[in-house]
Every structure is written in C-alpha cells, then in structure tokens.
A and B are shown apart, each in its own frame.
Chain A
Amino acid sequence: MITRLLSAALVAGFLAAVVATGLQLALTSPLIIAAERYETHAALDADDARLPIVLAHSSGHDHGDGKAQAEAAWQPGPGLPRMAFTGLATLIGGVGYALLLGAAMLACRREPTPERALAFALAGFAAVALAPALGLPPELPGSEAAPLATRQAWWLMTAAATAMGLYLILIRRAAVTILGGLVLIVAPHLAGAPVPPAETSALPAVLAAQFAARSLGIAFVFWAMIGLAFGWAWQVFGHRAEAPARA
C-alpha cells in the first residue's frame, strides 16, 4: 500500500512537474526576470538593471541593509542553473502535493481513478491556489507586500480552512456540515488577508496582472496533471502488484 502510494505520487509529481516547469519557463519566468529590474530600482543604476538576474534578492525585502546579506547567500546562476532549480522545486512541490492528494483520497476511502483523483485535485487547486489568491494574489518580485510571516500564516490558514470546508461540503454532505463548510471557506476572507503597505511599486500593473492570471492558469494545469496522473499511476501499480497473486 505504502509502496503503491509513494510510487504513484512520484510518477504523478514527475509528470505534472514536467508540464508545469515548461509552462513556468515559457510564461512566468520571463515576467519574474523582467520584474526583478524594478525590484532593485534604488540599488542599481540603469545599466546594471538590464542584467537578467540581479543581486539583493534574498530573505526580506529591505533593500538597504538586506543587500550585503543577499550577496552572501547562495543563489542559482542565471540561465540554465536557475531553470534547473525551478524544475527541481516544481518536482519536489509536485510530489509533495501528489502525496497529500493520495493521502486525502485514501483517508476519505475513495479508490483513486483518474476521474476521482482529478476531482480531488481540483479541490486541492481551490484550497491552495485559488482561495489564497483571492486575498494574496500571485505577486511578482518587487511588489509591495505585508510582512512575510503574516502572509504565510494567512495562506496556511486559508488553505487548511478551504480544504476542510470542501471536505465537509463535498464528502460529508449533511446540512450541518455543509453550513460549517461554507463558514470555514468564507471565514478567512471575512477576517481579511494581510494588507500591503500603501506605497506604490514601480512595477508596471500590466506585468503584475499578466503574472497573476498566468500563475493561476499554471497552478490549475499543475493540479489537473497531478490528479489525472496520480489516478492513472495508482491503477497501473495496482494491477502490477495484483498480477502475480492472481496467477
């Protein structure tokens, strides 16, 4: 069981990561690189700002004293290494999400088929991509934002509450649980996401809007692939394991 679950999650994470990495490199990475020119507007002059990868890009957004710290921190080189690490991170995230998807399906006693896993994956998309994005839209580097810890806390709370809410509504399906589920889904938004400071960013709004739309689109494809591939791989590994026993 555990072997089947881990194998199916690895396969699903890998297939989804291949697709999502391609989409990220084609659609969002160019926007991130373009936005990084604005991120360091105060620190760099115009010539340096044309470099595709800029320094001062580490923990914290305090451009002044954070710069020395950022130069010391390791970061992947521009071009291929950076793309490779984006792919690696997508693979790790994809396998992680696929494991959570599999665990959720089995905990809900749903045999993973491609169709059912796709349905669970869409709920996963709603919980970790769509719901948090309503309060904290996908951001380019250089956008003004509230402190990291409060945003992470709100993100986690919203994702957990939405997932639990969807479970209560779609799996439990009793009047009380549906009501409770709706409350859970709406509550984080009523409480409100951390508000960014009022200062305006130098980043063009067009870039930010494009990025937000593309980011959600990629997250949707990522999750759909995780679901379809997990259901498919689960069935394949199941047949393979059962075959010798039947013979």
Chain B
Amino acid sequence: MSTNVQTLGTTGTRASEGAAAIVIAAFLGIGLVFLAGFAPASALHNAAHDFRHTQNFPCH
C-alpha cells in the first residue's frame, strides 16, 4: 500500500519536474553547442577550430 502511495506521489510531480528538466537540458545543450561551435573568443575558436570546420559551423 505504501509503495502505491509513493508511486502516485512521484507521478504527480513528474510533469513539472519533467518540464524543468527539459528546460535545463535545452539551455545547457544550447550553451555547450554555442561554446564549441560559435563562441567568438579567438582562443575558443582556435581550440575548437578543426571540430568547427568538420561539423560545418561557419568558421572565420
């Protein structure tokens, strides 16, 4: 019985928790892709240079 209550509780919070997870993952993902593919700082550009060319991010 106690397990049932627990399961219902987690299902109830799942929607909002899921939405938060999606938003966090999306922002983090965009941030990382920006860092690897678009960040204009020349040190970052030079470090990621070959990756940017290969993955067809506009480079230079």
A residues contacting B by CB (< 8 A) are: 1-2, 5-6, 9, 24, 28-29, 32, 57-61, 69-70, 73-76, 82, 85-86, 88-90, 92-93, 95-100, 102-104, 106-107, 129, 132-133, 136-141, 145, 148, 151-152, 155, 211, 214-216, 218-219, 222, 245
8 A-B residue contacts at CB 8 Å? A1-B14, A58-B46, A73-B43, A85-B47, A92-B35, A145-B60, A148-B60, A219-B55
| Chain A residues whose CB sits within 8 angstroms of the CB of B43 once the complex forms | 73-75
A73-B42, A85-B47 are known contacts. Are A99 and B53 too (CB-CB below 8 A)? no
| Contact A98–B20 (Cβ < 8 Å) | no
| Chain A residues whose CB sits within 8 angstroms of the CB of B14 once the complex forms | 1
One of A75, A100, A151 near B33 (C-beta < 8 A): A100
**Can you list, as one digit per residue, whether each of B27-60 has a CB less than 8 Å from chain A (1) or not (0)?**
0111111111110101101111111111111111
| Contact A59–B45 (Cβ < 8 Å) | yes
- Chain A binding site: helix, strand, loop or mixed by DSSP? helix
| Chain A residues whose CB sits within 8 angstroms of the CB of B18 once the complex forms | 1, 106
| Chain A residues whose CB sits within 8 angstroms of the CB of B47 once the complex forms | 75-76, 85, 88-89
- Chain B binding site: helix, strand, loop or mixed by DSSP? helix
| Contact A129–B55 (Cβ < 8 Å) | yes
| Chain B residues whose CB sits within 8 angstroms of the CB of A222 once the complex forms | 55
Alpha-carbon distance A212/B19, docked complex (angstroms): 38
| Chain B residues whose CB sits within 8 angstroms of the CB of A215 once the complex forms | 53-56
One of A103, A132, A133 near B25 (C-beta < 8 A): A103
